[in-house]
Structure 1
Amino acid sequence: MRLGSFITVIGIPEGLLGNFRIDLMGELTSGEPDPPIILHYNVRLQGDKLTEGPVIVENTLTAAHGWGDEERCPPMQSENNKKVDELKQCNKRVGRLAAGPSNMSIWSSVAKNVSKSERYFPFKQGYLSVMTVRVGEEGFHTTVDGKHVTSFAYRESLEPWLVNEVKISADVRVTSVLASGLPTSENVEHVDMEALKPVSLPPHKKLDIFVGVFSTANNFKRRMAVRRTWMQYAAVRSGAVAVRFFVGLHKNQMVNEELWNEVQAYGDIQLMPFVDYYSLISWKTTEVVSAKYVMKTDDDSFVRVDEVLTSLNRLNKSNGLLYGLINSDSRPHRNTNSKWYISPEEWPEEKYPPWAHGPGYVVSHDIATAVYKRHSEGSLKMFKLEDVAMGIWIEELKKGGLEVSYMKENRVFNEGCKDGYVVAHYQSPRDLLCLWQKLQETNEAKCCADG
């Protein structure tokens, strides 16, 4: 799933209790006994050991950490009702006295005249409900019969694009399941491994761009999709552009063994004890030192390498350049519930200096060299938001006399895909293959499905 994806389940809670579960499952990782549950949505119409009234319980599950902290709707304490994408974790009307039939399911209210003394709950045993799970920027949002009910913030390493299966179980008769905004299928047969290996870089030749792709150890499918798609651009195959993956080691030894086999097979991975944005800066290689530009992207991004090169050549700015989706009026998130929360101690000022969104930005050679030098000297200010950090470092270089040009590229889409893209973010492996196929067939940057 990706930003804007929907899954709609139409069904009737029935049976003895009417309890049911909807689980968004991730992919099983080698060495783990069970796949992770990205979202566990548990409807308990008869309540549970903590409450007598009906309740919705949301959670996550991983083999390494077990169940996470439950989130309940209605919550045990109203003051704990936090917000996700500006929506409350639980609609405040859930569990309260209904104001009339309009507060019940649109289906059950037709079938039964609801008393005003009845407490509102979005599901009712024996009556049809339409539930939709939507992918937002910060979390999953569920609606029932068109009304927002719950919001659940993503948890670390359990993002929506890892979902590859929906499980519906217990006392519910499912009428239909609908989905929109999901990628098309992927054909993984007949892969020519030799064609996916990077070309040997000519000695003493300056690269046009060095591209660092940040990835994680168990994201093999994403790396394969990148190899089969935008790493096949002529500029990459000719050696004018070098693409390398930066991958941190995994806590699971079997995953690391598979990763090591991948390193030996393809030769395009730089292993790190852990991966973060300092990895790209501190990697002392000929490729980085001799590149005119250094680009940072992610393994779920599609990069139109040819268009990036064309744009940089058109700009004709080889020094003091930050190119990408520039944000010049950004303020730190002070809400402690935000995944991007920054305390006043971390950044005391009201605004950030200009920065470029992380899915795809480019800096010129002189900026990359200067930042690396400060890093090696221990004078680089560390900051946990990678893309903002680069903007902060560049601002420091400006104070030292460096003239900087900020070149905004509105075709870098950091929340999905739009036709005409230069970079499209949050793309699954199947999305990447689909985008590449469209480029080959039409020579136009057209998105797949709903983008």
Structure 2
Amino acid sequence: MFMNFRVKKCQFLQLISMCCFLSVLMVCWEQVDHHVVSHVKSYSYRYLINSYDFINKSFSVNREEADSFGSFPYLINHKDTCADSEVLLLLFVKSSPENFERRQAIRSTWGNQTYIRSKLGVTVKVVFVMGIHPNQHRRDTLQRKLFAEDRVHGDVVQQEFSDTFHNLTVKLLLQFRWAHANCAHARFLMSADDDVFIHIPNLVHYLQALSQQNVQDFWVGHVHRGAPPIRRRDSKYYVPVQMYQWASYPDYTAGAGYVVSRDVAAKIYQATLSLNASLHIDDVFMGMCAITVGVSPQEHLYFSGEGKAPYHPCIYEKMITSHGHEDDIGYLWRVATDPEVYGVSSGFLGKLYCTAVKIMLLCKPYYSNTYSCRAAFF
């Protein structure tokens, strides 16, 4: 008798739970359909089919057509940027004409080439790449200011295309084609947004170690695997089926910041000469180029995705990039490069303390798209 009651009670609770679930499902069906079903499809494609042969077949174009996607005249150019010495890193910062304050903040902090050369003992070339302002009424004024800025700093490369979100792939073509023509001997190439903080001492030490190993086929960043195309028309990442009809993108690194070795940069350049670059999601197009030349991205736990890294000395010690910094780069530069940071995790107790702190900061139940929980243990 007692057992029957327990079973009936469990069944009743299950029924109530199922009703609640179905109610939520009905209310949120559109979101579930977009976010769950699309990811199930994309992961199934990525891990069961795992073939992207269609890219060569469907996106291949002749050299003339491929060239046309990036054949814009230069308004500002510096062909001799890399002519003077051996270059460890050619660092492209994707900027927009009006972002004067962001560029200046970078020049005075992590992008200060004099600091890098004197304190870190290597040559890093920082180049700001951009198109022209899409608003014709503002364009002339901004161009005059931009020419004046470049006369002072000499670090801007600009082509005559509209600098919009839908032309980000054009900006990617600009980077790899300019690098091939003017700085092909740089040991590494990096692409980053102008709202990204780069812990340049950590990055330089990391790349120096790799350079001593003569690393090849190297492409590192915050990796997205099995990501589905966004089909919602209200999203800026919307990609229609006519443009990309498959369920999953090739693996790629977040466009906020990634690094490739010299040989990979050359391969990507070659790929851009034979692929249709109409897909405006630039980091996905990078993944398409890479898969056609047999290169796969590698995950680095301290390259950020779209999220901003937590502020704490235990994070700064390993940090490479953090995204979403428009106004606080100066502050973050001061605290993240403070020499005392490197003593926080020294010794057994220090390591234990930092591990506990990073678990609290990084191992959260919701998705923040910065460093993964695994980073807490490295």
Q: TM-score, normalised by structure 1?
A: 0.50
Moved beyond 4 Å, runs of 4+: 200-204, 236-239, 284-287
| Contact residue 302 and residue 423 of structure 1 kept, 8 A | yes
| Contact residue 205 and residue 290 of structure 1 kept, 8 A | no
Q: For 2:82 and 2:282, locate their aligned partners in 1 and report how far apart those are by CA, in whole Å.
A: 31
| Contact residue 180 and residue 269 of structure 2 kept, 8 A | no
Quick check: 1:427 aligned with 2:310? no
Offset at residue 396 of structure 1 (A): 0.8
| Contact residue 304 and residue 422 of structure 1 kept, 8 A | yes
| Contact residue 380 and residue 393 of structure 1 kept, 8 A | no
Offset at residue 313 of structure 1 (A): 3.9
Say which of 233, 252, 255 aligns to 2:142: 255
* Structure 2 unmatched runs, 5+: 1-29, 36-77, 164-170, 345-360, 362-369, 371-378
Find the counterpart in structure 1 of residue 358 from structure 2: none
Q: Classify 1:345/1:273 alpha carbon distance in 2 versus 1 (closer, same or farther; 3 Å).
A: same
Find the counterpart in structure 1 of residue 192 from structure 2: 297
Offset at residue 360 of structure 1 (A): 0.7
Letter in 1 for 2:287: G
Task: State the structure with bigger RCO (CA 8 A, min sep 6), 1 or 2.
Answer: 2
Letter in 2 for 1:293: F
Q: For 1:248 and 1:214, locate their aligned partners in 2 and report how far apart those are by CA, in whole Å.
A: 10
Find the counterpart in structure 2 of residue 264 from structure 1: 151
What is the correspondence of 1:195-344 to structure 2 with a 5 Å cutoff?
203=83, 205-232=85-112, 234-236=115-117, 240-250=123-133, 251=136, 252=138, 253-274=140-161, 275=163, 276-283=171-178, 287-315=182-210, 316=213, 318-344=215-241
* Structure 1 unmatched runs, 5+: 1-81, 88-197, 399-403
| Contact residue 271 and residue 289 of structure 2 kept, 8 A | no
RMSD of aligned alpha carbons: 3.3
Say which of 291, 295, 299 aligns to 1:408: 299
| Contact residue 226 and residue 251 of structure 2 kept, 8 A | yes
Q: Rg larger in 1 or in 2? A: 1
Q: For 2:127 and 2:81, locate their aligned partners in 1 and report how far apart those are by CA, in whole Å.
A: 12
Find the counterpart in structure 2 of residue 53 from structure 1: none
Offset at residue 246 of structure 1 (A): 0.6
Secondary structure at the aligned position of 2:107 is classed as helix
Q: For 1:364 and 1:265, locate their aligned partners in 2 and report how far apart those are by CA, in whole Å.
A: 30
Q: For 1:244 and 1:266, locate their aligned partners in 2 and report how far apart those are by CA, in whole Å.
A: 10
Offset at residue 362 of structure 1 (A): 0.8
Q: For 1:380 and 1:206, locate their aligned partners in 2 and report how far apart those are by CA, in whole Å.
A: 34
Quick check: 1:365 aligned with 2:262? yes
Q: TM-score, normalised by structure 2?
A: 0.59
| Contact residue 216 and residue 264 of structure 2 kept, 8 A | yes
Find the counterpart in structure 1 of residue 279 from structure 2: 383
Q: Classify 1:248/1:405 alpha carbon distance in 2 versus 1 (closer, same or farther; 3 Å).
A: closer
Aligned residues: 250
Offset at residue 286 of structure 1 (A): 6.0
Considering fraction of residues, name the structure with more strand. Answer: 1
Offset at residue 440 of structure 1 (A): 4.2
Offset at residue 370 of structure 1 (A): 2.1
Percent of aligned pairs with the same amino acid: 23
Secondary structure at the aligned position of 2:297 is classed as strand
Q: For 2:207 and 2:175, locate their aligned partners in 1 and report how far apart those are by CA, in whole Å.
A: 21
| Contact residue 111 and residue 126 of structure 2 kept, 8 A | yes
Q: For 1:309 and 1:215, locate their aligned partners in 2 and report how far apart those are by CA, in whole Å.
A: 22
Say which of 289, 293, 316 aligns to 1:397: 293
Q: Classify 1:203/1:257 alpha carbon distance in 2 versus 1 (closer, same or farther; 3 Å).
A: closer
Considering fraction of residues, name the structure with more helix. Answer: 2
CA offsets per residue over residues 388-408 of structure 1, 9 Å max, x none? Answer: 11111100111xxxxx35321
Q: For 1:203 and 1:304, locate their aligned partners in 2 and report how far apart those are by CA, in whole Å.
A: 26
Q: For 1:284 and 1:329, locate their aligned partners in 2 and report how far apart those are by CA, in whole Å.
A: 29
Q: For 1:380 and 1:367, locate their aligned partners in 2 and report how far apart those are by CA, in whole Å.
A: 19
Q: Classify 1:365/1:202 alpha carbon distance in 2 versus 1 (closer, same or farther; 3 Å).
A: closer
| Contact residue 236 and residue 242 of structure 1 kept, 8 A | no
Offset at residue 356 of structure 1 (A): 0.4
Find the counterpart in structure 2 of residue 116 from structure 1: none
Q: Classify 1:215/1:201 alpha carbon distance in 2 versus 1 (closer, same or farther; 3 Å).
A: closer
What is the correspondence of 1:14-93 to structure 2 with a 5 Å cutoff?
none
Q: For 1:202 and 1:219, locate their aligned partners in 2 and report how far apart those are by CA, in whole Å.
A: 24
Letter in 2 for 1:243: V
Letter in 2 for 1:432: I
Offset at residue 212 of structure 1 (A): 0.3
Offset at residue 231 of structure 1 (A): 1.5
